[in-house]
Amino acid sequence: MKKTFPLFLSLLMSASVFSPVIAAESQEETTGGCVIEEATAENLEGEYGAAYEAAGYQATFTYVADQEDDIAKIEVFGDFQWVTDELAKEFVGSDYSEAIRILSAYEYVEGAFHTGYSNPGGAGEYPEGICYDGGFINYTMTEVADDIYQITMPMPAGFYRYEYRITDSKGETTLIDDPCNDFGYTIEENNPTPADWSLILVGTADEVSETEAYAYPIEDETKQGTVEKAVIKTYLNTDQDIAVYLPYDYDENDPIPYKTLYVAHGSTENEDTWMIAGALSNMMDRLMEEGRIDHTIVVTMDNCVPLNNYEDDVPKNFAECLIPYIEANYNVSKDSQDRAICGSSRGGQMVYQMMSEYPDLMKYYGAFSFRREMDMEALFPAETVEALKDSYICLGRGNVEPATPAMLIKYNDLIELGLENVVLYDSIGAHDWGNWRSLYQQYVDYIGWTEIE
């Protein structure tokens, strides 16, 4: 049975996400959560006033612990780190071999772009209470009252994800989402996902870059699509979760069938990740509103549970179970030229496997930000290359991510095979969702499904 619910992230602006209380004298007076507001005069005049002034906004995170919890330290981390054009140039100039220096929220300067996971290292001194663990900057929260932890930091306009890292007296850490800002990720017991993420939108779409604006919901709520969740049977007769974005005007009786775009997540993620952290529903609403894509549904799937063998199980299940299910339950075309697939990180590897094992199944392929070495001769023998000659392949990479050089190699490998319809797109960002949202938008333009045929 399918379950339908709106997933356009306008909930980000509701009181349930932005708790109205940001400071308290006692636990009873606060419910925790995150509050976004314009930078206060006190912070503008304080030690990090320049960062607050450049950001324009500030975020206050409050975590309320249970009295019996064993807590030595609580940190908040996520996409709260930035890179300037100058630091990006230094990183590229090092041939991507050096660790990129990223800025904390308290070092933010106007024009810097925010990133997620970046190149391990990050040489440089950070303000007290901030540490860089080789992937994210961690911000230590202060216990402002009994069992109440809090931190305020500069926060420029943008779409961010975050979670809490709780360290106990034994030094063991646990990752959790914000209990007051839970977006309902599907977490199965055997899914390697360490924690789901909480999300915040800061400012308005007019205050961010053109590509970042697509993470914000469109104003016309009547044109916001919906997402259906469903469970299908794999070829091993196990259950697999999927999610399906339907445009606002989806009509199961439309005489013109819809096109289908399949989107694959990376390691330790699931069918919800692109829909929520990737803001895919918001992006599709805006892309359709602007006429950049039309008459299309989008499908995401959980490629970690129960199947996570990208070289065998995942492609086989995709071809033999997922596509037949979609085409039996939705008004979509069964023509290969009306199917497309893309994937980020390890999802890019899945795209390569689909090209290799089922070259006649799709017309369009998009692979973003993956470094895994591929045996091109084994993957693409002569007959497979011939079958892909009429396909269109789009590769993509961020400017400051470890996968950047590898994607150029993969592009050249495909050209050397004799494939002509191959492009390599660049984006701004690291191994993160801002980068992948930008690449997704470029991929949609590359496909060119702008008119109903």
Based on its alpha-carbon atoms, the radius of gyration of the chain, rounded to whole angstroms, reads 22
DSSP code, position 421? S
Q: Which two tokens stand for residue 127?
A: 């303000």
d(CA 66, CA 252): 49
CA-based diameter of the chain, in Å? 71
Backbone dihedral angles phi then psi of residue 255, each to the nearest 5 degrees: -65, -20
CA distances from 156 to 53, 203, 337 (A): 9, 8, 41
Q: What are phi and psi of 279, to 5 degrees?
A: 50, 35
Domains of the chain: 18-180 (no CATH), 212-447 (3.40.50.1820)
Going from the C-alpha of 278 to that of each of 6, 160, 203, 266, 343, the distances in angstroms are 15, 10, 18, 12, 12
pTM above 0.85, yes or no: yes
The predicted pLDDT at position 193 comes to 53
Which residues, at least 6 apart from 361, have a Cβ–Cβ distance to it below 8 Å?
A: 319, 323, 336, 339, 354
Return the beta strands (E) in 27-177 as ranges.
33-38, 57-64, 73-78, 82-83, 113-114, 130-132, 137-140, 142-145, 148-154, 158-167, 173-176
CA 211 to chain centre: 13
Within 168-311, strands assigned E span: 173-176, 198-202, 226-233, 239-246, 259-264, 296-301
Q: Which residues contact 177 (CB under 8 A, 6 or more apart)?
A: 163, 164, 183, 185, 195, 196, 197, 198
For 297, the 3-state DSSP assignment is strand
Coil, strand, or helix at residue 306?
coil
Q: Could you state, in chain order, the average pLDDT of each consecutive group of 10 residues for the chain (453 residues)?
A: 37 29 39 91 97 98 94 93 92 82 92 80 69 82 95 96 94 91 62 69 95 95 94 88 95 97 86 89 97 96 68 82 97 97 91 93 95 88 96 95 89 95 95 94 97 70
Are 443 and 342 contacting, i.e. CB atoms less than 8 angstroms apart?
yes
- 3-state secondary structure at position 129: coil
Query: Omega into 120 within 30° of 0, i.e. cis?
Result: no
How far apart are the C-alpha atoms of 243 and 362, rounded to whole Å?
Answer: 20
